[in-house]
Structure 1
Amino acid sequence: MDRPANSSPDTRRVSLLPGTRKIIEGVERVYYEGYWIRYYQPPANTLSAKRHLITALTRRLFNHVEHGINISGVRLQQARHAYETALDPALKRVNGAMLAGALFNRASDIIAKLVEIQELGVEIRSDNALLRECGNCLQEALTLGRLVLHRSGEEGIDELWGEPLHAFSIPVEDFFESRYLKIASTLRDVDHIGAALTCCFEEDGDFAAIVPLIRCAIDAAHRKVETLQTDDLIFTVWPEFVVAGENLIHYRPPSASAEDIERVRHQEHGLQLVAQGWAILNDISRARTPMPKTTQSFIRRLEAFRQSGTCPGLLVPLTVPD
């Protein structure tokens, strides 16, 4: 499979300004942080556009964080009371995450109603009290975001929580530009994982044959990261991404004798690392946001496996996402 135009940093010794746009193989791309990323024309900077953007960002946020925190904005006061009265630190964290969810939904409700009023011909000024309340809700939710875990349980994605407030506070075009920077950071994490997996397995007799599958998965992850869900191209990109992951996690090394306990353990640990790597790639690519702590922790486990042939921390088989 050919690598996409954005699949690796542009290493040419040419000074390119961030935001430089160029047609590459018939596709308009924009340059950020060494990557040529598929470009999308931002919508007009209207309250209606912000409403659609914030709604989409909030929905995406809830798709990637722990279950049970998508609390209706109508229940904001109940959520706040539960958080403020919780005494156990572990319970208070979850209540705080639920409060953050309610705040996001309250902000979304407010801006939705303001758009409806605006569509009736009523001017909504920037100093409108409800707009200020919307901003306050998003700001408080952002503060509480540190309490929220990613659905994998490994790491919160603080940047996801900041995006609705960011989209509310700045022009839509500027928000799109900031997203390209995050996409570039995400692509770099994807590449780091791909390079670490390749380095770990390419000279391993049991796993060398998996390297082309790793490359295919990384290419598919690149295309997934840069493609908007609303783009018709997603009907090609998403199936390729899913199948690349399935091919990767279904890889099996040559059969080892049951009596060769060390080799059996080596293969089991290697397969668990492959599954874990795909789970992380899946999380990062779908969220289109870097997860640096999770990425670096995984790379350290790969290095430990490469040096010793086992990874003692991998004792329980992982559940691989669909």
Structure 2
Amino acid sequence: MDGQAAPINHPERTMDNTVPEGTRRIIDGRERVFYSDYWVKTYTVPEDTLQAKRKLIGALTRRLFNHVEHGLNIPGSRLNEARKSYEDETDPERRRVKGAMLAGALFNRAADIFTKLVELQSVGIEIQSDNALMRECGRCLQEALGLGRLVLHRSGEEGIDELWGEPFKAFSIPLEDFYESRYVKIALTLRDIDRIAGAIAANFGPLPCFAGLGPHVQAFACAAKTKTETLRTDPDIFDVWTSFVTAGERLCAHFNAAAMPEGLEDQHLVADGRQLLQRGRDLISDITRARTPMPKSAQEYIERCEAYSARCARAETRA
């Protein structure tokens, strides 16, 4: 394999170069939009108001803090302290963490400003786009975006720059355009899930202890992709989330104990495989919950699967 594992088929995947990007169709009674070979579920765009943007930015900020490393949710009221601590720090490792904390404070300061602007608007005070507080809000979000490169995903493997850019994007462009940009990213997320699932199926399926794994991989990939395109406010979320969790549990529980080799070295090799399989489940879960591609982690995991398959082949040759 060359790292581009064959994707598991998804019910909404269409390998058709004749379909223009952004095409919308009703599929099984639900509108979907076509990007990167996937038909992604769409949602109604709210009216483009300050109130709607405040709610969206608040939700995006909570989502951001939920997926990045711990300790970054610094109140906006402590922005000056966070900035001074960052600027005074000279150790590179500590400076990275303090820069991430400063980014968190900037996001919360922007959310605080937006909340006050919405309160003013609710009592009849008209807020223009060139309002000084609007400009300050945009500046905070833009600075936080610049610091986002210092922040790691909660797994510690890589950053997710897209999460840091979304609140600023939601602030600076029409909501309709923001939703469309999310559909593009969701399609790319579905592609990452397929690539990882394809690597698991291709490299673990032929191994005796993991024989029969394929259907569990496919079920988990399909559940993960459905979860990726489903908002938490969707009525289907209860069944969607349950299916996703249980499919992941079945994937990691699948093991042919009768095929366990007798040699201690080979048993350790099998144990390594079970850990690698669980890491694949966890990586797909991270990508699914963040609803954002993690290309570095995906590629590294695919390469680890290929390396593990090669180790197993060498062990079989020795036997």
**What TM-score range do you get, normalising by the shorter chain?**
over 0.9
Give the equivalent residue in structure 2 for 1:83: 86
- Give the superposed CA RMSD: 1.5
Which whole-Å CA distance do the structure 2 matches of 1:17 and 1:251 have between them?
A: 40
Unaligned runs of 5+ residues in structure 1 are: 312-322
Give the equivalent residue in structure 1 for 2:122: 119
Deviations 1:144-190 (A, max 9, x none): 10110100000110110000000000000000000000001100000
Matches within 5 A, 1:123-272: 123-255=126-258, 259-272=262-275
Which whole-Å CA distance do the structure 2 matches of 1:12 and 1:85 have between them?
A: 55
Matches within 5 A, 1:266-305: 266-305=269-308
Give the equivalent residue in structure 1 for 2:62: 59
- Checking the alignment, whether the CA contact within 8 Å between 1:270 and 1:310 is kept in structure 2 is no
Matches within 5 A, 1:7-86: 8=13, 10-12=14-16, 15-86=18-89
Deviations 1:206-263 (A, max 9, x none): 1122111111100000101000111111111011111111111222232466741233
* One of 11, 33, 40 as aligned partner of 1:5: 11
Which whole-Å CA distance do the structure 2 matches of 1:198 and 1:45 have between them?
A: 44
Equivalent pairs: percent with the same residue?
Answer: 56
Which whole-Å CA distance do the structure 1 matches of 2:282 and 2:290 have between them?
A: 12
Give the equivalent residue in structure 2 for 1:101: 104
Give the C-alpha shift of residue 5 in structure 1: 3.1
TM-score of the two chains, using structure 1 as the length reference: 0.92
TM-score of the two chains, using structure 2 as the length reference: 0.93
Give the equivalent residue in structure 1 for 2:5: none
Give the C-alpha shift of residue 266 in structure 1: 2.4
- Aligned residues, how many? 306
Which whole-Å CA distance do the structure 2 matches of 1:12 and 1:61 have between them?
A: 34
Deviations 1:256-288 (A, max 9, x none): 667412331221111011100011000000000
The residue matched to 1:309 in structure 2 has which SS?
A: helix
